[in-house]
Amino acid sequence: MSVESLGSSNSPNGAASPKAALTSEPDSPKDVEERLQEEKRIRLKVDLRLCTIAGLLCSLNLLDSGIISSASVTSMLHDLGLDQGNRYSVSILIFTVASVCFQLPATLAVRILGPRIFFACITVSFGLITLCTAFIHTWKEMILMRVLLGISMSGIYPGLALLISSWYRREELQLRFAFLQCGEVIVLATGGIVNFGLNHLHGQGGLKGWQWMFLVQGLAACVIGVATFWWMVDFPERSDQSFHFLSKEEARIATARIQRDRGDVIPAPITTKEILRHFLDLKIYGFAASFFLLNLVSTSLSYFLPIILQSGMGFSTNKSILLSAPPYYYAVIPVVLSSLVGDKYRLRGPVIVFNSLCLIAGFIMLGFADHVTVRYVGTYLATGAYISNWAALNGYLASNITGQWKRAVTAAAVTACNGLGGVAGSFIVRQPEAPRYLTAIWVSIGQVCFHFIPFCILADLWKLTYLYYWHRGCLFYFLLHCKFKAD
C-alpha cells in the first residue's frame, strides 16, 4: 500500500478516495464491534513485533552506560589513563556531544531510508565499535571510540520514538513507551549481571575483565543488528512490506485507525522550510527543557551508580557491579503501573509530579541517610522514578505533537537536549565528594523542584479544573434528582 494511493484525493471513476476511506466508519453496531475486535488483534500483533525489538534496540542506549560504568570500577581507568583529571567524565561528555550533533539528520533518515535498513545498519555499527573498544590501549583511543559510538547511536532513541508514536493512538502511547523502557532497563540490569560474570574472566585469553565486557556485548549487538533487518517493522502505511508481518488488508485497518485519531498518517512532502517552521512551536522547547533536566539525573545514576556503590557505600568491585542491577529490575514495576494510570485517565502531568516526588525522596535517602541499606534503597526509588518519567514524558510529548515531520523534528530536538543533559550530568558526580556526592544530590533535587513539578501542574491545570467542575456538576445533578424524587 503506497503513500501515493493513500494520499490521492479522487479516484478516476469518481469513487471515494482511499484517504476518505481511511476515516470512514461502519454504521452497523455489529460492524463496529467486529472492527474494534480486528483492530485489537492487529494492535497485539504490533505490540509483540514492534515493542519487543524496539525495547531491545533502545537498550543499546543504556547498554553502553552499563558497560562503561561497570568497567570503571575495574582496572580500565588505570589501564587507559582515564583516572587522571576529568578524562573519564570527558569520555562520557564527548559521546553525548557527537550524538547530539547527528540527532536531527539521523531521525529524518529513519523516514527516508525506512526503519529496517536504518536500525539494522546503526545497530551493527554500534556492535563493531563496542567490540573494537576491547582492544584500545590509551585514553585518546577511548575518546575516538566514544565519538564514533555517539554518531552511530544518535538516531536510535528519537527514531524509535518516532516509529512508535506513528503506530498507536494517543491514549495508548505511554504504556508502549513503558514497554520500551522495560526492555531497556531489563537488558541493562541483566548486562550488569553479565558484566559481573565477565569480570571473572580477567586474565583469560590475555584479556582483562573490562575487555571481555566490551568484546562479548559488542558481538551480541552485531547479531541483534543482523536480526533487526527482518524483525523490525516499517511505518503503518508501508507495513505490508515488512517481513512476515501484516497483510495489505491489516495494514489498511492499522492505517485507518491512526488516521481517525490524529489524521497525520500520510507525511507531507519534505522541504527545508517545512522542517524549520516546526521550530517556531514553543511546546518543543518546553519538552526539550524537561528532557534535558531528566537526563541530568539519568546520567548521574546510570554512568556512576557502580562508582557510588563502591566509593560511596564501601562495596567491593564485584559487589558494586552486581548490586547496580536490582534497582533497574525494580523500575519495571513503577513504570508499568504509572503508565497504566496515565493512559487510562489520560493524565500525564500528575503522574510526572508523583514520580518527581519519589525521585526527591530517593535522592534524600541516598544523600543524607547514614545507614548503607537506607541509601541503597534510595537508589531504587530514584531509579524507578526517573525511568517512569521517561515513559510519561514521551507519552505527554507524543499526545501533543501531530504531523509526521513535526514529530520527527520534535523527537530530534528533544533527544538532542536530552543528550546535552547527559553532558551536564557527567560532571555533577564528583569523586572528591565521596561518599555523599552532595553536588549531584542537590542538583538532582533542585531540577525536580524548580522545573518538573510547576511545569506539569500548570500543563494539566486546565484538565484538573475541568474535572473539578465536572464533579461539582454531577453532584448538583444528583442532589437535584433526589429532591425531585422526594417531592
Averaged over 313-326, what is the pLDDT? 84
DSSP letter, residue 16: P
Instruction: Report which of residues 90 and 80 the model is more confident about.
Output: 80
- How many other C-beta atoms can be found within 10 angstroms of the C-beta atom of residue 481? 10
- In angstroms, the CA 290 to CA 101 distance is 19
Phi, psi (5° rounding) for residue 156?
-65, -60
| Inter-axis angle of helices 404-428 and 156-167, nearest 10 | 140
How many C-beta atoms lie closer than 10 Å to residue 48's C-beta? 10
Whether 313 contacts 435, CB under 8 Å: yes
Indicate the helix (H) or strand (E) that contains 78: helix 76-80
Mean pLDDT of 215-223: 93
Q: Tell me the pLDDT band of 328, cut-offs 50, 70 and 90.
A: confident
Alpha helices in 278-403 (DSSP H): 282-302, 305-307, 317-323, 326-345, 349-368, 372-400
Q: C-alpha angle with apex 378: 74 to 292, nearest 5 degrees?
A: 80
**Grid cell in block for residue 166:** 506513528
Cβ contacts of residue 142 below 8 Å, gap of 6+? 80, 82, 91, 133, 136
DSSP 8-state code for residue 137: -
164 neighbors 395 (Cβ within 8 angstroms): no
Of 194 and 304, the one with more pLDDT: 194
333 pLDDT band, cuts 50/70/90, is very high
Q: Calculate the average pLDDT of the chain.
A: 80
Q: Check pLDDT > 70 for residue 336.
A: yes
Spatial contact of 318 and 196, defined as CB atoms under 8 Å apart: yes
Is the pLDDT reported for residue 365 higher than 60? yes
**328-346 residues labelled b (16+ CB within 10 A) or e (exposed):** bbbbbebbbebbebbbeee
Answer left, alpha or beta for residue 24, where phi above 0 means left and psi between -120 and 50 means alpha. beta
**Burial class, 314, CB count within 10 angstroms (exposed 0-12 / middle 13-18 / buried 19+):** exposed
Residue 321 · residue 210 · CB < 8 Å: no
- Report whether 207 contacts 215 (CB < 8 A): yes
Q: How far is CA 302 from CA 267, 305, 382, in A?
A: 36, 6, 11
Are 297 and 386 a contacting pair, CB within 8 Å? yes
Overall average pLDDT of the 377-390 stretch: 90
- Give which of 50, 221, 244 is closest to 133, Cα–Cα: 221
Q: What pLDDT sits at residue 233?
A: 93
Task: Please compute the mean of the pLDDT values over residues 382-400 and round it to a whole number.
Answer: 85
Instruction: List the single range of 45-59, 105-119, 162-176, 390-404 with lowest mean pLDDT.
Output: 390-404
Q: What is the mean pLDDT of residues 322-348?
A: 88
Q: What is the rounded distance in angstroms from the CA atom of residue 455 to the CA atom of residue 296? A: 17
pLDDT band of residue 135 (cuts 50, 70, 90) is very high
Residue 20's pLDDT band, with cuts at 50, 70 and 90, is very low
- Nine cell digits for residue 47: 505490540
pLDDT at 93 over 70: yes
What is the DSSP-derived secondary structure letter of residue 202?
T
Distance CA 361, CA 355 (A): 10
DSSP characters over 143-164: HHHHHHHHHHHTTHHHHHHHHH
pLDDT the model gives residue 146: 92
Mean pLDDT (whole number) for 183-210: 86
pLDDT reported for residue 264 = 66
The torsion angle over the Cα atoms of residues 59, 65, 69 and 70, rounded to 10 degrees, is 30
Query: Distance between CA atoms of 480 and 477, rounded to whole angstroms?
Result: 5
Instruction: Provide the whole-model pTM.
Output: 0.72
What are the distances in angstroms from CA 371 to CA 151, 326, 429? 42, 19, 20
Over the range 247-260, which residues count as b (16 or more CB within 10 Å of their CB) and which as e?
Answer: eeebbbbbbbbbbe
Q: Give the pLDDT of residue 1.
A: 43
Give the C-alpha separation, 429 to 77, whole Å. Answer: 16
